[in-house]
């Protein structure tokens, strides 16, 4: 019996020794503290990390900001003399600014990120708080010169945003003789001295009216183009702000918001010949069903702008047909009012006007440079303006044009960005190029195996190339455009202190997608305390919006995914099929199937990692994301519960019929078909398996909060168990960016710790009582 008991004890001890790596140091309070303090711990440890340079007026000099131990340093480089020096005496400027503004900061942690050289570089102008200050570089005297000019970038907060209200001032003709205005819904003209006025149109009514902001004068002041608008259905979302800061009772508001399938405004172009007082209503055979919304934001398609040729022979506008499968540049002859298509773009799936469109008119419309994916990749084409035929394809190959930086009409050259053109490199890396209009003379200015950010000097004689990868810190090089020769290595980022602090780079991982041929690229982030002998649950961060690609490609010392990994997870991200910036076929996977979200590729990618690394435990996989990622993460549990077990979804657009019209009809098509229901998290809520946590802000104007609440309703009807957090006053970033991120992140982290690690999170209510 003793021997038998001893044997049992030995088995238990061996089992415990085997399980110890699986059970220890994951999801503890120490892990939480390390995760919360990670940003502060590593902030500033990557030294000489440069930001994008800015050329000073039309000189051969540029300034840039870089990290130093004391904070930041601003330097100036002269490309002609190859000299580098501080932009100013940092200690003197800091002391002077503190004295003048009262703004307190330590060392060189200046309260501004950018400078402007003024007064022939004798001074710099900076924004501190709400004010703009001039700092004399000889005396360092500070003078307030007005309100702040520079503005930060928009974050997650809010929705599409409204453009400034259009001017209601009359539209004055180029020769100054006439004023165009709207009276009783019609177009009128009057002389500048207001002694004479008369109508140009008569048929406008409340329900079919002319818009003042659409009036466009021809350069010769003899013609006027305008749009007559027939209003569609202007949907309004109703909001209740439950807990306003300035009063006890709730507040109520509305927000105009078109959704897929809504009847849209129609716009009819009209030409007026002033001397003859003649109206010509343009035949709409070439543009019968325009997609037009009232300018809700930068990615909405607002009223097509009538653009006159400089010689006043005609005007053009762009026609996006409802459904986004036909896109045309329409030219209207000023003498006859006859319309013709200068460019006719048609697709069996979608024309990606949302992010891929580019147009440049050469020599007043004699030629047009246009982007198209007609050969399977996004490339540049040269059109003959008068005939509307393609003269030649400018760029070609199994790679894509990502943007155009400059068109040199005199030299007949295009300066552009591209990705996928370097065999053996990540196909998302950006490279900078130049090519002749006829497709000859392709020159690639960037060489390093990384993603590049280039800034050319005003005369294009020099360029600064800053490049990096997620696993390679930035290098900044000054090069000569004529032969690409390196003139100076301006900066090379030093990460020695960062590495000493325990930082390690994300791992880039590539695996084949669903077709067995296409590479799927992603990154893997492990905790700083990573032990390869242990098993770690996997959490995927997902955003599968078809308008872009989202896996990071450049260096960053800090990542929010790394903070999550510190709790005892391996966090990963990849771009599956259906996202942008690869081939047209890769992108088309999302067509009328946004619920796919690249999951067949993602799952294979995860399995390939697990096959290589035993520590990558795909029996415990979580997923999280916001907005489109909110839809995707919930869909993971509905459509792929055999793989994904836990999901956290922020502000999800869970049903594409409930979300903004522009983004959703672009990918899901029009008119609304059964595909919308097939991809809907609401209609498929009954499928839920696993653990789901939904988070929504009650005032989200980007995605209707009802989208989340309808999922909640469907889950309740299906008798499903789930978690819900509604954030009072929260908008689209509620719980994950600028709005109570600590609370939202902690709730997300707790959910993963509890359901993937099987560990009870710390009791956050056991805190020291407030004094």
What is the arithmetic mean of pLDDT over 614-625? 98
Q: At 329, is the pLDDT very low, low, confident or very high (cuts 50, 70, 90)?
A: very high
CA nearest to 239, candidates 709, 733, 705? 705
* Strand ranges (E), 274-376: 278-281, 307-308, 314-320, 326-333, 339-346, 359-362, 367-372
Determine which of 544-553, 673-682, 761-770 has the lowest per-residue pLDDT on average: 761-770
Question: What pLDDT, on the 0 to 100 scale, is given for residue 297?
Answer: 37
Question: What pLDDT, on the 0 to 100 scale, is given for residue 615?
Answer: 98
The average confidence (pLDDT) of the chain is: 93
Looking at per-residue pLDDT, the higher value among 106 and 159 belongs to 106
d(Cα 50, Cα 77) in Å, to the nearest integer? 13
Whether residue 3 is predicted with pLDDT greater than 70 in this model: the reply is: no
What is the arithmetic mean of pLDDT over 722-748? 88
Tell me what percent of the residues of the chain surpass a pLDDT of 90: 88
Whether residue 301 is predicted with pLDDT greater than 60 in this model: the reply is: no
Question: What pLDDT, on the 0 to 100 scale, is given for residue 9?
Answer: 45
Whether residue 407 is predicted with pLDDT greater than 70 in this model: the reply is: yes
Whether residue 613 is predicted with pLDDT greater than 50 in this model: the reply is: yes
Q: Which whole-number Å values give the CA distances from 561 to 29, 35, 540, 557, 567, in the listed order?
A: 18, 10, 9, 12, 11
Whether residue 209 is predicted with pLDDT greater than 60 in this model: the reply is: yes
What is the arithmetic mean of pLDDT over 677-691? 98
Determine which of 67-81, 705-719, 731-745 has the lowest per-residue pLDDT on average: 731-745
Question: What pLDDT, on the 0 to 100 scale, is given for residue 130?
Answer: 94
Looking at per-residue pLDDT, the higher value among 430 and 297 belongs to 430
What is the arithmetic mean of pLDDT over 617-632? 98
Whether residue 510 is predicted with pLDDT greater than 60 in this model: the reply is: yes
d(Cα 721, Cα 694) in Å, to the nearest integer? 12
What is the arithmetic mean of pLDDT over 635-647? 98
Question: What pLDDT, on the 0 to 100 scale, is given for residue 304?
Answer: 76
Question: How many other C-beta atoms lie within 10 A of the C-beta of residue 129?
Answer: 13
Q: At 292, is the pLDDT very low, low, confident or very high (cuts 50, 70, 90)?
A: confident
* Exposed / middle / buried, residue 248 (Cβ in 10 Å: 0-12, 13-18, 19+): exposed
Q: Which whole-number Å values give the CA distances from 730 to 158, 334, 748, in the listed order?
A: 9, 51, 16
Question: What pLDDT, on the 0 to 100 scale, is given for residue 366?
Answer: 98
Radius of gyration for the chain, computed over Cα atoms and rounded to the nearest angstrom: 30
Question: What pLDDT, on the 0 to 100 scale, is given for residue 573?
Answer: 98
> Residues 315, 308: contact at Cβ < 8 Å?
yes
Tell me what percent of the residues of the chain surpass a pLDDT of 70: 92
> Residues 579, 598: contact at Cβ < 8 Å?
yes
pLDDT 10s digits, 20-59: 444 445 888 899 999 999 999 999 999 999 999 999 999 9
Question: What pLDDT, on the 0 to 100 scale, is given for residue 166?
Answer: 67
Question: What pLDDT, on the 0 to 100 scale, is given for residue 186?
Answer: 98
Determine which of 78-82, 300-304, 400-404 has the lowest per-residue pLDDT on average: 300-304
What is the arithmetic mean of pLDDT over 710-730? 97
> Residues 413, 403: contact at Cβ < 8 Å?
no
Question: What pLDDT, on the 0 to 100 scale, is given for residue 471?
Answer: 98
Whether residue 158 is predicted with pLDDT greater than 50 in this model: the reply is: no
Looking at per-residue pLDDT, the higher value among 356 and 235 belongs to 235
d(Cα 206, Cα 184) in Å, to the nearest integer? 8
Question: What pLDDT, on the 0 to 100 scale, is given for residue 629?
Answer: 98
* Strand ranges (E), 359-506: 359-362, 367-372, 379-384, 389-393, 400-408, 413-419, 430-436, 443-444, 451-456, 462-469, 472-480, 486-492
Whether residue 271 is predicted with pLDDT greater than 70 in this model: the reply is: yes
Whether residue 698 is predicted with pLDDT greater than 90 in this model: the reply is: yes
Determine which of 10-19, 422-431, 475-484, 640-649 has the lowest per-residue pLDDT on average: 10-19
Question: What pLDDT, on the 0 to 100 scale, is given for residue 159?
Answer: 38
Question: What pLDDT, on the 0 to 100 scale, is given for residue 298?
Answer: 35
pLDDT 10s digits, 12-25: 444 444 344 444 45
Q: Give me the long-range contacts of 316-322 (CB less than 8 A, separation at least 24).
A: 316/342, 316/365, 317/269, 318/359, 319/286, 319/287, 319/290, 320/290, 320/291, 320/351, 320/353, 321/287, 321/288, 321/289, 321/290, 321/291, 322/264, 322/289, 322/290, 322/291, 322/665, 322/670
pLDDT 10s digits, 337-378: 999 999 999 999 999 988 889 999 999 999 999 999 999 999
Q: At 447, is the pLDDT very low, low, confident or very high (cuts 50, 70, 90)?
A: very high
Q: At 741, is the pLDDT very low, low, confident or very high (cuts 50, 70, 90)?
A: confident
- The torsion of the CA quartet 646, 651, 657, 659, rounded to 10 degrees, works out to -150
Full-model pTM: 0.93
* Exposed / middle / buried, residue 602 (Cβ in 10 Å: 0-12, 13-18, 19+): buried
CA nearest to 241, candidates 740, 730, 754? 730
Question: What pLDDT, on the 0 to 100 scale, is given for residue 189?
Answer: 98
Question: What pLDDT, on the 0 to 100 scale, is given for residue 16?
Answer: 42
């Amino acid at each position: 019996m003793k021997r038998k008991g001893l044997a049992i004890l030995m088995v238990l001890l061996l089992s415990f020794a085997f399980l110890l790596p699986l059970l220890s140091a994951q999801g503890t309070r120490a892990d939480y503290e390390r995760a919360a303090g990670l940003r502060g711990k590593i902030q500033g440890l990557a030294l000489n990390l440069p930001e994008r340079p800015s050329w000073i007026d039309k000189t051969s000099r540029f300034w840039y900001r870089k990290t130093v131990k004391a904070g930041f340093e601003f330097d100036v480089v002269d490309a002609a003399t190859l000299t580098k020096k501080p932009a100013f005496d940092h200690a003197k400027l800091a002391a002077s600014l503190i004295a003048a503004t009262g703004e307190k900061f330590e060392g060189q942690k200046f309260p501004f990120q950018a400078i402007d050289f003024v007064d022939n570089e004798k001074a710099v102008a900076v924004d501190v708080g709400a004010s703009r200050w001039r700092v004399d570089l000889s005396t360092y005297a500070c003078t307030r010169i007005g309100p702040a000019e520079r503005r930060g970038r928009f974050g997650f907060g809010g929705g599409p945003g409204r453009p400034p209200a259009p001017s209601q001032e009359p539209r004055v003709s180029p020769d100054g003789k006439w004023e165009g205005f709207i009276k009783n819904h019609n177009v009128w003209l009057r002389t500048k001295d207001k002694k004479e006025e008369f109508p140009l149109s008569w048929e406008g009514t409340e329900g079919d009216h002319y818009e003042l902001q659409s009036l466009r004068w021809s350069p010769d002041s003899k013609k006027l183009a305008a749009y007559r608008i027939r209003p569609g259905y202007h949907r309004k979302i109703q909001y209740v702000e439950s807990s306003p800061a300035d009063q006890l009772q709730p507040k109520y508001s509305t927000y105009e918001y078109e959704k897929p399938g809504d009847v849209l405004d129609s716009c009819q172009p009209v030409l007026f010949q002033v001397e003859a007082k003649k109206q010509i209503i343009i035949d709409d055979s070439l543009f019968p069903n325009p997609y037009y919304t009232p300018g809700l934001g930068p990615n909405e398609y607002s009223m097509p702008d009538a653009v006159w040729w400089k010689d006043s022979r005609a005007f053009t506008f762009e026609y996006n047909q409802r459904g986004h499968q036909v896109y045309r540049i329409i030219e209207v002859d000023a003498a006859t009012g006859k319309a013709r298509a200068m460019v006719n773009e048609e697709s069996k799936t979608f024309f990606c006007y949302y992010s891929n469109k580019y147009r440049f008119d050469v020599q007043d419309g004699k030629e047009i440079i246009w982007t198209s994916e007609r050969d399977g990749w996004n490339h540049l084409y040269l059109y003959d303006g008068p005939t509307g035929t393609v003269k030649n394809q400018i760029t070609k190959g199994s790679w894509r044009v990502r943007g155009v930086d400059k068109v040199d009409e005199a030299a007949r050259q295009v300066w552009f960005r591209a990705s996928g053109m370097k065999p053996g490199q990540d196909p998302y890396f950006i490279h900078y190029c130049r090519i002749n209009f006829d497709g000859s003379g392709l020159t690639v200015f960037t060489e390093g195996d990384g993603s590049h950010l280039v800034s050319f000097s005003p005369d294009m004689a020099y360029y600064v190339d800053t490049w990096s990868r997620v696993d390679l810190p930035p290098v900044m090089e000054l090069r000569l455009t004529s032969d690409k020769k390196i003139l100076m290595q301006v900066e090379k980022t030093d990460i020695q202190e960062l590495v000493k602090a325990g930082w390690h780079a994300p791992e880039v991982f590539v695996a084949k997608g669903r077709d067995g041929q296409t590479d799927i690229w992603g990154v893997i982030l492990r905790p700083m305390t990573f032990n390869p002998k242990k098993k770690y649950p996997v959490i995927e961060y997902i955003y599968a919006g078809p308008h872009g690609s989202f896996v990071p490609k450049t260096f960053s010392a800090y990542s929010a995914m790394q903070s999550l990994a510190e709790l005892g997870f391996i966090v990963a991200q990849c771009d599956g099929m259906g996202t942008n910036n690869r081939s047209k076929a890769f992108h088309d996977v999302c067509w009328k199937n946004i619920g796919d979200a690249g999951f067949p590729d993602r799952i294979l990618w995860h399995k390939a990692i697990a096959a290589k690394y035993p520590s990558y435990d795909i029996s415990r996989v979580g997923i999280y994301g916001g907005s489109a990622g909110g839809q995707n993460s919930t869909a993971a549990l509905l459509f792929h519960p055999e793989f994904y077990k836990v999901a956290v979804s922020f502000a999800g657009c869970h049903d594409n019929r409930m979300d903004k019209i522009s983004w959703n009809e672009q990918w899901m098509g029009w008119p609304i078909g059964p595909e919308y229901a097939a991809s809907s998290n609401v209609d498929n809520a009954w499928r839920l398996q696993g653990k789901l946590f939904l988070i929504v802000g009650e005032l989200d104007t980007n995605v209707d909060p009802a989208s989340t609440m309808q999922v909640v309703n469907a889950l309740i009807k299906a008798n499903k168990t789930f978690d819900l957090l509604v954030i009072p006053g929260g908008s689209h970033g509620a719980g994950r960016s600028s709005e109570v991120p600590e609370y939202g992140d902690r709730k997300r982290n707790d959910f993963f710790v509890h359901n993937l690690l099987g560990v009870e999170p710390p009791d956050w209510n056991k805190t020291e009582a407030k004094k």
